[in-house]
Amino acid sequence: MALAESVRALVRPAVADLDPYDPAFVACEVNLSANECTWPVDPATARAVADAVASAALERYPDPLANALRDELAAWHGVSRPNIIVGNGGDELIYNLFVAFGGPGRRLLDMPPTFSVYRIYASMLDTEVLAVPRDPETFEPDWDEVLAVAPKCSIAIVTSPNNPTGNVESLGRIEELCEACPGIVMVDEAYGEFAPEVPTAASLIDRHPNLVVLHTLSKAFGLAGARVGYLVADPSVIDVFAAVRQPYTVNVMSQAAALASVERRAAALERVAAIVAERERLAAAIDDLGIRHWPSQGNFILLRVPDAAEVRRRLAEEHSVLVRDLSSEEGLEDCLRVSVGTPAEDDRVIEAFRSVLNG
Ligand SMILES: *Cc1c(COP(=O)(O)O)cnc(C)c1O
């Protein structure tokens, strides 16, 4: 972004060269580029959400801490209200992590390739980024190096399942990191529901008060548009997040929609199980096309094709199918990420890949 010199003279150096986040959206009939849940919501939940939103008191400020939603989330996760804080999407909670625990003279331990938001927020808030790259073939973290660097860091983030590579981490590794890092360890479980066999790190918060576990309703619950995420952590850490947050960021409609959805979580989790099965069908079809891909525990699959940027362009322009091009990111040369859609959407993606790669 080329800033006018007069503005560049005014702006904080850390933000002078930032570009707005670009989801690279192009209107397409099939959009599997952002890991949203495109499966229909069951009719009972759809009705409950619509009723809850319709009766939200728009003339009143929201409950700042969304306590009704906190209580429901706490009941689900077997913790108490003081262990939970709700944010305007998981992204806001990641931002607030840097507001509270980052800043000049402090360091983030990042494990790329991973979610790019961490390093963007770190830089914006003058936090140095120490990158410990994952294995270029398997995308497993370099745990020896991670544990060697951790003592120097105020914040460490482990994404499990990792976006966009799909890897998951064991609780043993997370405990080692919590012990090695004197700062806050965030385990980002935005896709945790899609890895039902992998235990949540939330079970460790009693033993590790420097651990925070991030969740979102954007993926498994299909509420990306409502912008609701939450953290599970020790109450003393939650208090810090409560202190730095802007008071009314989660609006009354989103609180109402989220509460109605979480109250009916059994239906959402049934849909998640179907998406997990569909992920395996999509992976097998990608395999049949001879496309290199990585095993994923999220609702997406990372794959590598020759000339990925051109393949993405042709998928969109010739087949109206949108996937995410990650090929310009370090370690992800020629990689694309495809979100798991409905069976009909996935059939379109598979046919589009077949056609583009054969012609
Ligand atoms: C999607 C995502 C989030 C949070 O998304 P929100 O929509 O802001 O809740 C957090 N971490 C990862 C790795 C994600 O992919």
pLDDT exceeds cutoff 90 at 309 = yes
Specify the pLDDT at position 18: 86
Q: Closest Cα to atom 11, ligand 1: which residue?
A: 190
Q: Closest Cα to atom 1, ligand 1: which residue?
A: 190
Specify the pLDDT at position 57: 96
For the CA of 229, the nearest atom of ligand 1: 9
Q: In sequence order, what are the beta bridge partners of 305? A: none
CA atoms within 13 A on the CB side of 230: 27
The secondary element (H helix, E strand) that includes residue 122 is helix 117-124
Give the relative orientation of helices 67-77 and 252-263 as an angle to the nearest 10 degrees. 30
d(CA 108, CA 184) in angstroms, rounded, equals 10
| Opening angle at CA 271, ends 343 and 157, nearest 5 | 100
pLDDT exceeds cutoff 90 at 2 = no
Q: What is the pLDDT of residues 154-199, one digit of tens each?
A: 999 999 999 999 999 999 999 999 999 999 999 999 999 999 999 9
Ligand 1 centre and the CA of 291: distance in Å? Answer: 27
Ligand 1 in contact with 167 (CB < 6 A)? no
Q: Closest Cα to atom 15, ligand 1: which residue?
A: 163
Tokens of 22: 């670009």
Q: Are 181 and 210 in contact (CB under 8 A)?
A: yes
Q: Are 256 and 48 in contact (CB under 8 A)?
A: no
Q: How many helices (H) and strands (E) does the chain have?
A: 13, 13
d(CA 246, CA 191) in angstroms, rounded, equals 26
Instruction: Please spell the DSSP secondary structure of 40-91, one letter per residue.
Output: PPPHHHHHHHHHHHHT--TTSPPPTT-HHHHHHHHHHHT--GGGEEEESHHH
Ligand 1 in contact with 298 (CB < 6 A)? no
pLDDT exceeds cutoff 70 at 103 = yes
Bridge-based pairing of strands 107-110 and 128-131 is parallel
For the CA of 228, the nearest atom of ligand 1: 9
Specify the pLDDT at position 84: 98
Closest listed residue to residue 180, CA positions, set 220, 208, 203, 160 = 208
Bridge-based pairing of strands 184-188 and 155-159 is parallel
pLDDT exceeds cutoff 70 at 1 = no
Ligand 1 centre and the CA of 293: distance in Å? Answer: 22
Ligand 1 in contact with 34 (CB < 6 A)? no
d(CA 288, CA 75) in angstroms, rounded, equals 43
- Number of residues in the chain: 359
Ligand 1 in contact with 115 (CB < 6 A)? yes
d(CA 265, CA 22) in angstroms, rounded, equals 31
For the CA of 159, the nearest atom of ligand 1: 13
This prediction has a pTM of 0.97
d(CA 49, CA 80) in angstroms, rounded, equals 24
Ligand 1 in contact with 39 (CB < 6 A)? no
Q: In sequence order, what are the beta bridge partners of 159? A: 188
Specify the pLDDT at position 24: 78
Mean pLDDT of the 11-19 span: 88
Q: In sequence order, what are the beta bridge partners of 85? A: 231
pLDDT exceeds cutoff 80 at 292 = yes
Ligand 1 in contact with 90 (CB < 6 A)? yes
Q: Closest Cα to atom 2, ligand 1: which residue?
A: 190
pLDDT exceeds cutoff 80 at 95 = yes
